[in-house]
Amino acid sequence: MYSPDEDGVFEQLKSVILAAETDARGRVRLPPERTLAEQLGVQRSTVRERLASLENIGVIRRTRGSGTYVQMPNPGFVQLYFDLAVKLGYVSVDEMERAREMLEREIARIAASHATDDDVAELARLYEVMVHARTIEEGLEADYEFHQRLAYMTRNPVVILLIEGLSSVLREVLYRRRVLVRRVPAGAERTNATHPAIVEAIRARDPEAAMAAMDEHFRVWEEQASSIASSRDSASLLETPPRNQDSP
Amino acid sequence: MYSPDEDGVFEQLKSVILAAETDARGRVRLPPERTLAEQLGVQRSTVRERLASLENIGVIRRTRGSGTYVQMPNPGFVQLYFDLAVKLGYVSVDEMERAREMLEREIARIAASHATDDDVAELARLYEVMVHARTIEEGLEADYEFHQRLAYMTRNPVVILLIEGLSSVLREVLYRRRVLVRRVPAGAERTNATHPAIVEAIRARDPEAAMAAMDEHFRVWEEQASSIASSRDSASLLETPPRNQDSP
DNA sequence: GGAAATCAATTGGTCGCACCAATATTATAC
DNA sequence: GTATAATATTGGTGCGACCAATTGATTTCC
């Protein structure tokens, strides 16, 4: 024996997860590790190694003294993954932004095609909060929620997962950039000024106009960012990590 | 002692990975597990558990007898993640398809805006392969490569990562559906007929036309799929797993 | 001298068991 | 019936051993 299992254990664990019954309290609980080890004919440490992977991906949640439970997938894994990818230089911040913009365009389109009145009202409210914000952070938070709300309007968990994962990684970078933008005279006004067009396009249920408004939104914002970047003291904030060796 | 580390070890391992130097043979190699355990002041089994997570995510690659190496992120993690999410019923196949279509639309747009002559030639070649395919599998393979090539034309690793992850999960389902579509008289012809428009739009560097062509592509395909779905013997293939309990 | 076979060191993979710490359950006291 | 305490369950870590694959140096052979 003592040969690598080729992740047969991993596959079996997936089956166990899929076959797991719902608890009396509505929780989907897995058998104890010691039981799983016996059932799969493997050592407990081996089971634990596989479970650790599933936990880091967000598929299960383990609580000492309680048990192992199947969990809703969360955007954390996308964050962790891209966070490492960015830091390792395999992808640049700029490339992540481009991917995010592509998704946002489509989100705007879908959101416009089946928005409820409540959705429109909430977007309008968030815009008001944004405009009347007294601190920079307050305005940025409303801006973030504005885009998040748009994603939720697609009613598609996959889209929400992806956009939240991308946004969370970019949030740090975007935050610093936006703070700089807003410090420029009339910076906040110009960036905020692109939001009403988005809201109106969605209120009119006009997908094409929504995409166009989103395009304009990013265009203005990047214009501001690049004008900021040309100044000396903030150039470093826009740097992207160097790419690593060979990439296929 | 013996208290949960709150993943401090995990964070430290990420730092080690980021600080890892390039090998003489160009490989980025991590210290042996036994050394890492000593450096981090923790047991080897603990180090292994964290490394297992990173390996399943695709950040590192471990080879027995050789060592642990930092690896290019691969789409496998997205596949594993969404595969489980689909099987657990947190997301449906239909929702994944919608997300993929959204990305494909934008991919077509970006591809059209900066395509090289080689790109266009390759797309045209793949279409020819598709048309003259003698077996169903041959045609499907060319179709798959066609869409993959489009994704690569964005030159954005994030987009490629996402679309490959989504496609790999959907591939099984899509394969069965497409096989059915092509078995309908003139099924393959009608679906294939939407490809030239995509190629031509890209050859003309017309982003709007490319998106419209992609829309038409999916529209025809789904029309075929739904007509197939209405027949008795294949209805089960289009089923989506039931959604689970509470989802936030 | 060079290529192939051999051997020992290195390194990741698993095992087995012990113990710690947090939670859940049961028993007990009031 | 409720609150407290004791007990059992369960995940988290430690420790040391051995297995299996790779690597690199050594030897052997031509």
Query: Does A53 contact B52 at a Cβ distance shorter than 8 Å?
Result: yes
Q: Which residues of A touch B70 (CB under 8 A)?
A: 88
| pLDDT single digits (tens) B62-85 | 998 999 998 866 677 777 778 778
A54 in Cβ contact with B77 (< 8 Å): no
Do B177 and B155 form a contact (C-beta atoms < 8 A)? no
pLDDT recorded at residue A7: 59
pLDDT of residue B238: 41
Residue ranges and CATH numbers for the domains of chain B are: 8-70 (1.10.10.10), 77-238 (1.20.120.530)
pLDDT digits 0-9 by tens, B20-51:
878 767 788 999 999 999 988 888 988 998 88
- 3-class DSSP state for residue B41? coil
Q: Number of A:B CB contacts under 8 A?
A: 139
Per-residue pLDDT of A229-248, as tens digits, reads: 655 444 444 444 434 433 33
Residue B114 has pLDDT above 70, yes or no: yes
Per-residue pLDDT of A14-70, as tens digits, reads: 888 888 888 767 788 999 999 999 988 889 998 998 898 888 878 899 999 999 998
Residue A112 pLDDT: 97
What gap in Å lies between CA A146 and CA A130, rounded to an integer? 9
Write down the mean pLDDT value for chain A.
82
User: Does B159 lie at the interface with A, CB-CB under 8 angstroms?
Assistant: yes
Alpha-carbon gap, residue B14 to A165, rounded angstroms = 19
Q: Residue A215: is its pLDDT beyond 80?
A: yes
Q: Residue A30 in 3-state DSSP?
A: strand
Q: How many CB atoms lie within 10 A of CB A1?
A: 2
What confidence tens digit (pLDDT) does each residue in A108-131 have?
Answer: 999 999 999 999 999 999 999 988
Question: Band of the pLDDT at B115, cuts 50, 70, 90?
Answer: very high
- B61 C-beta less than 7 Å away from strand C: no
User: What does DSSP assign to residue B204?
Assistant: T
CA distance B162 to chain A (A): 9
Give residue B240's pLDDT: 41
Q: Classify residue B22 by its DSSP letter.
A: B
Strand D bases, protein C-beta under 7 A = 8-16, 18-23
Q: How far apart are CA B103 and CA B85, in angstroms?
A: 19
Would the CB atoms of B87 and A56 count as touching at under 8 Å?
Answer: no
- Point out the least confidently predicted range of A83-97, A122-136, A172-186: A172-186
Q: Which residues of A touch B77 (CB under 8 A)?
A: 57, 77, 81
Indicate yes or no: strand C within 7 A of the C-beta of A25: no
- Amino acid present at A73: P
How far is A63 from A32, CA to CA, in rounded Å?
A: 11
Tokens read off for B157: 């690793």
Among the listed residues A199, A172, A171, A187, the one whose alpha carbon sits nearest the alpha carbon of residue A226: A187
Q: What single string gives the DSSP state of each residue in A200-217?
A: HHHHTT-HHHHHHHHHHH
Q: Where are the beta strands (DSSP E) in B51-157?
A: 60-63, 67-70
Closest CA to A11 of A43, A44, A53, A70: A53
* Phi, psi of A60, deg, nearest 5: -125, 165
Q: Which residues contact B108 (CB under 8 A, 6 or more apart)?
A: B150, B198, B201, B202, B207, B210, B211, B213, B214
